[in-house]
Structures are given as structure tokens and as C-alpha cells.
Amino acid sequence: MTYETITVEPIAGALGAVIRGPDLSRPLDQQCFAEIHEAFLKHLVIFLEDQDLTPDQLLAFAERFGRIVNYPFVKDMDGHSGITEIIKTETDTLNFGGIWHSDTTYLPKPPLGSMLYARELPPRGGDTLFANMYLAYETLSDGMKAMLGPLRAVSTAALRAQGNVNARARLADQTGKGQNRDKLEMEAEHPVIRTHPETGKKALYINCAHTSHFTGMTPEESRPILQFLFEHMRRPEFTCRYRWSVDALALWDNRCSHHYALNDYQGYRRLMHRVTIEGDTPV
């Protein structure tokens, strides 16, 4: 596609691009938004830097992609339903999202995507890694693709991996909404290989933060194959790394990418605003 209203600068071979030109504090015309959307589908995660946005302006941009939904475990920002404050304080040791994952796959309709807007950053560290699940699928052997093709897998909100649940509970308490233990029972079953509803491409759709086991198998039977896939999915050549700046905004495609928030800034505060966009039932 030839872009007329934006400039798109890829940041890695696998995925990720910085978009320059739009001012998201102002309404976007249809052509500009269409070009941003096309870049989003092509690069899986896009970054728009130096965006001075109010919470309402952030929400207005997110709504161009779809209906905004609430994150089930953390209270929304006061006065702005749909914005979750992701906070790591100077005394916190765990961070939120510090594991390779796709967001909330324990829901029947996981998000289309998520936006993250940088408000306060440490002087160094706190980068985010992203991985391309199209490439993770395409580089599997034909035999593995054939085996995985008909399989489904169970995702659960209660899976305890690398402090993931503990970090979520700490953030819930910090924002004034204690974690609802009933919600830890949330789980959903999805295809292991997902077809993207807009691009038609196939992607691996499991993740080590939430995927428990293959449907019809025990966790013990599933573990060897899942562990191989979890290692495969984060191969360096499938990834990009983004260094944040204040007022930078990221949007990633939850249907075909993973992300990982690095926890390498102990003793410093980091505040991000997150918005989640409604998705569909994976097929």
C-alpha cells in the first residue's frame, strides 16, 4: 500500500512499525485512519510517538477500531471507563505483563487489540517485546501443522506462571479493586491455530500465561508439546523490542502477536494507560 497521509517506519524484520504524521488529539479523516489501520494489520504492532492526549482523546482513537471493553481484574481510571492504569511503583518488585502472552485469552471473545499509552517512565528500562505469531506458525514443520490443526486448547485466568497472577492481584489492590477470586475461574476454549478474521492468515494461538492444556488431554499429556511451542514462539527472529518515550502510544493485534513487559527498572515508577478493544470468537 502507498501511504499518502502517514509515514511508516518498520523497526524490525519480524513486526513493528513507528507511524509518523497523525495528531491523535484531533479527529482523523477516513483516509488517514484507513492507512493507520492498514499499517496495523501489516505490522501487527504500531507506535505513534509524541501524542499529547487527554483520556477522552485516547478513548476516541481506540473507538475507531472497535468497542472498548473493561479489563476484568482491575478498576478503571476514575471518571474514564475503559482506561486501566498500569502502575509499577518505586517499591514494587513484580510488574504487570511480565510474561509472554496474548491478552485475556480466557475470555470467550478475547480482545482484538490493546493500546498502551506512556504517561510516566523510568530513566531507563521498561521496554516491551513483541512476537509475530504468523511467523511462529509458518516456521513449524508440515507434520506439526497437521497435528495442531484440529486441536483446541483451554485458557484459564487462574494459571500461575512467573508471578503473573500475583502481579495482577497487586495491581488490582493498588487501583482500589481487590481481585475477585470468582473471576479466577474464568476459562475458555480456543483453536490452537487461529485464522485472522481480517487478513485470513493463520497464527499460533496459545500462550504460556493462560494456556493450560489441549482439549481432551490432561495437562501432563499436553505439557511437552506446549513447552516446545512456547519456546518456539519467542525465537528472537520473530520479535521486536520497543523503547518507550513519554506520550508514545502502542497498539498491538492480540489475534496474531504476543508481548512481554520487561521488569528491569527496580526502584523507579512507571505509569501506563491501557485500553482494550473488543474482539470476536477465534476460529
**Catalytic positions:** 101, 103, 259, 274
Rounded to a whole number of angstroms, the distance between the first and last alpha carbons of the chain is 27
State how far the Cα of 245 lies from the Cα of 273, in Å rounded to an integer: 13
State how far the Cα of 94 lies from the Cα of 155, in Å rounded to an integer: 22
Beta-strand ranges (E) seen in 59-192 are 68-69, 76-77, 80-88, 113-120, 128-132, 152-156, 187-191
Instruction: Identify the CA nearest to 168 among candidates 206, 127, 209.
Output: 209
Report the SS3 class of residue 26: coil
As to burial, measured by CB atoms within 10 angstroms (0-12 exposed, 13-18 middle, 19+ buried), residue 144 is middle
Q: How many Cβ atoms are within 10 Å of 20's Cβ, its own excluded?
A: 13
Buried b (16+ CB within 10 A) or exposed e, 236-249: eebbbebebeeebb
